[in-house]
Structure 1
């Protein structure tokens, strides 16, 4: 039920709040600099965004290839690719609000922040599949299973 409620809020924001914000910002910018300059600014913004996506996408692709060639798990590279994809889609939609969000996802200075947010979202949604089902047989929490035996605790260290 909570998941459905979150989805409803997300859809409300995506299809009602964002377009209203876009229209408001477009009207405000148009009143300050004029309609034609607003259109020129939107076109220039799209050109800048497409150039930035192409440049950062090429870098992300090269980093992904390097990670795969060295046999390293490309978690960071895949997250960057996902962020670049979402940022590129946001840059395609007309308006300054979505373009700003897209540029923030694309820029190499701000992408690590969004990569951490993405990692947190993915970690919360992840289901571990073990030999006894989705929770590995755990009843009370991590490490509590129906099977007797030692529990080995550890931590993952990334280089």
Structure 2
């Protein structure tokens, strides 16, 4: 959670808000902690705000987090989702990396600058290291990005979203 740790028991008469999302809620690595939306809520007077988010998280991740940690006696739960998040499903498969999520630290800042920024602007892309990890069992979307409700990844994400909402609605009245 990108927020100060919350105790499992909410103090009496305290408003506790849990905000679930992906990189939009998490805030990105380049933002100062005090500038992310959930910290701004806290600065505006909400007693406790939990930022339950990380880049590329979707409903399945939120559901898994809620199953593991519960809702920490939250008085309010906010789900921030966009259409592409519906297909961000957790997978047991090892992460094989991409240019924005490298698997190893760069040799140097100069090399990273060349590989990630300068060469791609010149139309030169270096191949990623090939992993021996098995390919994901998730079927690929027909056009690359899942946009169709018929896409099995979207169906799975929407089912997870429904379960997360059901759990959040079972929170006791405060």
TM-score clears 0.5: no
Question: Taking structure 2 as the reference length, what is the TM-score of the superposition?
Answer: 0.22
Greater RCO (Cα-Cα under 8 Å, separation 6 or more): 2
Q: Which has the higher strand share?
A: 2
* Structure (1 or 2) with the larger CA radius of gyration: 1
Q: Which has the higher helix share?
A: 1
Question: Taking structure 1 as the reference length, what is the TM-score of the superposition?
Answer: 0.24
